[in-house]
Chain A
Amino acid sequence: MQNAPSREILEKIFRTAYRIRVFETEGIKLYRQGLIRGYFHPYLGQEGIATGVCAALNEGDYVASTHRGHGHCIAWGADVKRMVAELLQKETGYCRGYGGSMHIADIHRGNLGANGIVGAGTPLGVGAALAAQIRGSDAVTVTFSTDGASNNGTFLESLNLAAIWNLNFILVIENNQYAVSTRIEESTRDVDLYKRGTSIGVESHQVDGNDPLAVYRLTQEAAEKCRAGKGPILIEAKTFRHMGHHVNDPGKYMPEDRLAYYKARDPVDRARNALVEICGAPQAEIDAIEGEIAAEFSDAVEFARNSREITAAEFRQFVADY
């Protein structure tokens, strides 16, 4: 493997990927128990993308996410306690229970938020990149987008604005090959979505989204190019969901052999293997990391369950000037 990232980075990548895996797997259980309501779009199977991308970014950069946003939040360093609290609609949650799964944001740390409208994160991310340019900052903004969103008009409109204004913007298309239940082959003639960037003069790449290290390397290069004034850059990361569109979608339309193909290339396994194979991390250390992350999630659930909800009086005060 050429230019293997440092041990520190490899461990960070594994920890993040595993943290997302635990969050989603355990979160689904909480959903089934009725503790979490509303929509829950699991990031299972796509962990390699958020993990690799965010590991390559700096403090002060921005990310904008999708409806399937837990992974991006975690990879951007969100506090799992406050995330679980938000899903449990508690006052200690990132949005004090006003937003929920689809709107978790941490604006003070440059997370512009998940978004319930497919495609909306792209113009918002370009806007953050524009704000950085106006301020004279070299901050990079990444919008995580989707194959579904790439058929929305804002995809072209905003990527084109980023291009004509040379913004420090990276558009990551997580191509999981389904727009809810519609196969990508039914929504476009050319399933290689990176070509759409090329067609408007944006440097564009395709990467195996289930390979966190490859995603990390490519993002690192892209961020460097952006900071050198060569942005924006588009990255198409091919991947596959491990289940349906949301918790209550069994995903029967996803062919079993395709699912097996991608599960055999599981991004969390690959992150773990990298740590073992490249750094020679012993099994005991892997077990310790996994135990630590599982305990962190249990603590977060405890924290959220013990937190209170917004009171009616606080609510009235908050919305008084609407």
Chain B
Amino acid sequence: MYREALREAIDEEMERNKLVFIIGEGIAERGGSYKVTEGLLAKYGSLRVRDTPIAEAGMIGVGVGAAIAGARPIVEILYIDFAMLGMDMIVNQAAKFRLMTGGDGRVPFVMRTQGGAGGGVAAQHSQSLEALFYHIPGLKVVMPSVPADAKGLLKYALRQDDPVMFLEHKHLYMSKGPVPDGEHIVEFGKGDIKRSGKDVTLIAWSNMIPRSLEAAEALAKEGIDVEVVDPRTLVPLDKELILTSVAKTNRVVIVQEAVRRGGVASDIASIIQEEAFYDLDAPIEIVAGLNIPIPFNLELEKASVPQKDDVIAAVKRCLHPEQFTARAAN
């Protein structure tokens, strides 16, 4: 399971390096709201596994300071929405320190948090905010979609020297999947083909991977062969993997749960048109959340973020753009 894979990564790295520690709200005795840190207090003690007051700017800032001073903190923020309280520490401190110090200062700081809709937890507990961090030079942005990647990427995050926004998804914690035995590390900037196919390249991350895979299976029954590309880390982005896939299929659909406006999908589309325009046989399709806060009502919530049918429809539009006259006329 995704959450167990995360726990294994933290456990193994805490075992390996005494400078790795974790702080957050309710992560010690309670084991975290999503049970990721269960058992760590008993194993490593209260020096390295600590609960914090509800003080996000303080705990993120303290984590950044500890990282600057050579420790390897993991700060768990309960919801990505709450990370907004600590944005100065992330954006103005952690992200900038290395450049501001001419490379002398490094910030091996990992913020683990989770986002995404689907639980009926309304507008302040459901956002997908990766674009905010993607926009800030100096941050690494990691969005694992399956347990194996969750473990391998988190282990890598705890061994490199830049601030990492490790963004989990609240719907994935219970998801299952194989995790390789032994030392399993996934480097940043290496994407993964989650399903290979020849007709359309479908780029997605985090919880949009399982949703896209479901769509791909449904489309396979209609004879449409979709390749699902998971960049795994948005910064750094595995452009090579994306462009190779585009060169093969000549058609692209990008799926993101986050709102459409100013999103990572738009940026990936812009990279593809810059670097692979002549490989494209159809306009790039973007499937994204509506440009609104997430509503509480479950049906409205569903309507606000991409569903399987939205993905299927986009793939079909991409395969036959000429049939969608309104778009073709534009």
Chain A interface (Cβ < 8 Å from any Cβ of B)? 62, 64, 93-99, 103, 105-108, 112-113, 115-117, 120, 122-128, 130-135, 141, 153-154, 156-158, 160-161, 164-165, 318-319, 321-322
B88 touches A157 (CB 8 A): no
Bound complex: CA of A50 vs CA of B71, how far in Å? 26
Q: Is the CB of B137 within 8 A of A107?
A: no
B99 at the interface (CB under 8 A from A): yes
* Distance, CA A107 to CA B50, complexed state (A): 26
Number of interface residues of B (CB under 8 A): 40
Within 8 A of A (CB), among B42-74: 47-48, 50, 52-53, 55, 57-71, 73
**Mask of B241-265 contacts with A, CB within 8 angstroms, 1/0:** 0000000000000000000000000
Cross-chain contact A161 with B62 (CB below 8 angstroms)? yes
Residues of A within 8 A of B52 (CB): 161
A127-B64 in contact given A120-B93, A132-B69 (Cβ < 8 Å): yes
- Contact present for A124 and B65 (CB under 8 Å): yes
Residue contact B57 to A128, C-beta cutoff 8 Å: no
Given contacts A95-B104, A98-B102, A161-B55, contact A112 B68 (CB under 8 A): yes
Q: Establish whether residues A113 and B105, one from each chain, have CB atoms under 8 Å apart when the complex forms.
A: yes
**Shortest Cβ gap from B21 to chain A (Å):** 6
| B56 and chain A: residue at smallest CB distance | A157
Given A120-B92, A131-B65: A157 touches B58 (CB 8 Å cut-off): yes
B residues whose Cβ falls under 8 Å from a Cβ of A:
18-19, 21, 47-48, 50, 52-53, 55, 57-71, 73, 88-89, 92-93, 97, 99-105, 137-138, 236
Q: How far, in Å, is B31 (CB) from chain A's closest CB?
A: 20
Cross-chain pair count, CB within 8 angstroms? 145
Q: How far is the CA of A95 from the CA of B99 in the complex (A)?
A: 8
> Given A124-B64, A127-B61, A160-B55, are A97 and B47 also a contact pair (CB < 8 Å)?
no
Q: Can you list 27 A-B contacts with CB-CB less than 8 angstroms, sorted by A residue number?
A: A94-B102, A96-B103, A98-B103, A99-B102, A115-B93, A116-B92, A117-B88, A120-B88, A120-B93, A123-B89, A124-B61, A124-B64, A124-B65, A127-B67, A127-B73, A128-B65, A128-B68, A131-B66, A131-B71, A134-B18, A154-B88, A156-B58, A160-B55, A161-B53, A161-B58, A161-B62, A319-B99
Residues of A contacting B61 with CB < 8 Å? 120, 122-124, 126-127, 154, 157-158
B104 touches A120 (CB 8 A): no
Does B65 lie within 8 Å of A107, measured CB to CB? no
Q: Shortest Cβ distance from A222 into chain B, in angstroms? A: 19
Complex Cα spacing A97 to B103, Å: 11
Complex Cα gap A212–B52 (Å): 36
**Docked-complex contact B65 and A321, CB < 8 angstroms:** no
A116-B92, A154-B57 known; A130 and B102 CB under 8 Å? no
- Expressed in whole angstroms, the minimum distance between the Cβ of B58 and any Cβ of chain A is 3
List residues of chain A with CB within 8 A of the CB of B100.
Answer: 95, 98-99, 103, 105, 113
| Distance A117 CA – B87 CA, assembled complex (angstroms) | 12
Whether A103 pairs with B101 at a CB distance below 8 angstroms is yes
Q: A105-B100, A113-B101 are in contact. Are A161 and B65 (CB under 8 A)?
A: no
Select B65's contact among A106, A117, A127, A153, beta carbons within 8 Å.
Answer: A127
Query: Does B19 lie within 8 Å of A134, measured CB to CB?
Result: yes
Distance between B221 CB and nearest chain A CB, rounded to angstroms: 43
| Closest chain A residue, CB of each to CB of B189 | A321
Contact B62 A130, beta carbon cutoff 8 Å: yes
> Which B-chain residue is minimally distant from A132 (CB atoms)?
B69
Hey, which chain A residues are within 8 Å of B105, CB to CB?
A: 105, 107, 113
Q: How far is the CB of A289 from chain B (nearest CB, A)?
A: 31
A125–B55 CA distance with the chains assembled, in angstroms? 16
In contact, B138 and A322 (Cβ under 8 angstroms): yes
**Option from B55, B101, B138 in Cβ contact (under 8 Å) with A95:** B101
Query: Do A158 and B71 touch across chains, with their CB atoms under 8 A apart?
Result: no
